[in-house]
Chains A and B, each alone.
Chain A
Amino acid sequence: MNTELFPKMAQSIIDGDADAAVALANQAVAAGMDPLEAITQGFVVGVNTVGEAFARGDAFLPELVMAGEAMKAAVTALEPEMARRGTQRQMLGKVVLATVEGDIHEIGKSLVGTMLSASGFEVYDLGVDVPAAKIIAKAKEVDANIVGLSALLTTTMVKQKEVITEMDKLGMRKKTKVMVGGAPVTRDWVQKIEADGYSEDAIGAVAIARQLVGAAKMI
Chain B
Amino acid sequence: MPIIVIACSVFQSLLQQAFPPAVVKGFHFLDYGLHRVSSNLTRTIQETIDAIPEPSLVVLGYGLCGNGLNGIQAGKHNLLIPRADDCIAILLGSYEKYQEEFHSEPGTYYLTKGWLESGSNPLSEFLEYQKKYGTRKAEFLIDSLYHNYHRLAFVAHDRADLDQYRPQAQEVARFCARWGMRYEEILGSTAYLARLVDLALASGHSDDGFLRIPPGGTLRQELFLRY
Contact = CB atoms under 8 A, between A and B. Distances in A.
Given A65-B144, A104-B148, A184 B67 contact: yes
Interface size bracket, A side? 20 to 34
Interface residues of B, number: 32
B222 A189 contact: yes
A154 B222 CA distance: 10
Identify the interface centre among A102, A161, A184, A189: most chain B CB within 10 Å of its CB. Answer: A184
User: Is the contact region of chain B dominated by helix, strand, or loop, or is it mixed?
Assistant: helix
Contacts of A157: 225
A211 interface: no
A57 B37 contact: yes
B106 A104 contact: yes
Contacts of A158: 225-227
Contacts, number: 65
Given A57-B37, A104-B149, A155 B85 contact: yes
Interface in B96-135: 98-99, 102-103, 106-107, 129, 132-133
A61 interface: yes
B12 interface: no
Given A57-B40, A183-B67, A161 B221 contact: no
Contacts of B169: none
A65 B70 CA distance: 26
Contacts of B107: 104, 129
A184 B66 contact: yes
A106 B106 CA distance: 13
Contacts of B38: 183
A101 B107 CA distance: 11
Interface in B54-88: 64, 66-67, 70, 85
